[in-house]
Amino acid sequence: MKRRRQEEWERVGVEVDSIANISVVGDGGWGKRSLGHSYDANTGCSVVIGTETQKVLDLDARTKTCSMCSRKLEHTVCYRNHTGSSGSMEAAGLVNIFNRSIEDNLRYTTFVGDGDSSVETALKTEVIYGADIEKVDCINHKIKAALTSYWNGDSSETTRTT
Ligand SMILES: [Zn+2]
């Protein structure tokens, strides 16, 4: 994936060794279907896609469990890397992805994502260059939220006309 980030950096056309500010689309998902039902998955994954190349630039996998730990077996590599709630996995993963973008002279300063305000807050407060990140709402998520509200009779998201 480092090569993909390099390709994204080249497309922006900045000077050699300088940092490029780019736009990415990002989202997270859990190891089991949960939207609107339960939020107790033990694993989750966050991904960002570059808008220039439309390729996956980075991903971060979170897991709350480790089979070796749960069996109290000795092990040198523990894959358990998340202690918060399942719902906080997306934000934690995206913060990691954004912070390490600097290693490849990239800053993900425009973030296209869903309406999850906890992700936006985490990016703005926990990413090294968080103050420079602009959040743009994903139109697909906005339409989905509006339609869901419409069908559920919730007038706070949209106005019913029938
Ligand atoms: Zn372990």
All structural domains of the chain, each given as residue ranges with its CATH number in brackets, are 2-152 (3.30.420)
Output the CA 106–ligand 1 centroid distance in Å: 32
| Cα–Cα distance measured from residue 113 to residue 100, given in angstroms and rounded to the nearest whole number | 19
Output the CA 76–ligand 1 centroid distance in Å: 8
Output the CA 69–ligand 1 centroid distance in Å: 4
Interval 56-96: pLDDT, tens = 999 999 999 999 999 999 999 999 999 988 889 999 999 99
Strands 106-113 and 20-30: parallel
Q: Per the confidence metrics, is the pTM higher than 0.75?
A: yes
Interval 109-136: pLDDT, tens = 999 998 778 899 999 999 999 999 999 9
Output the CA 74–ligand 1 centroid distance in Å: 8
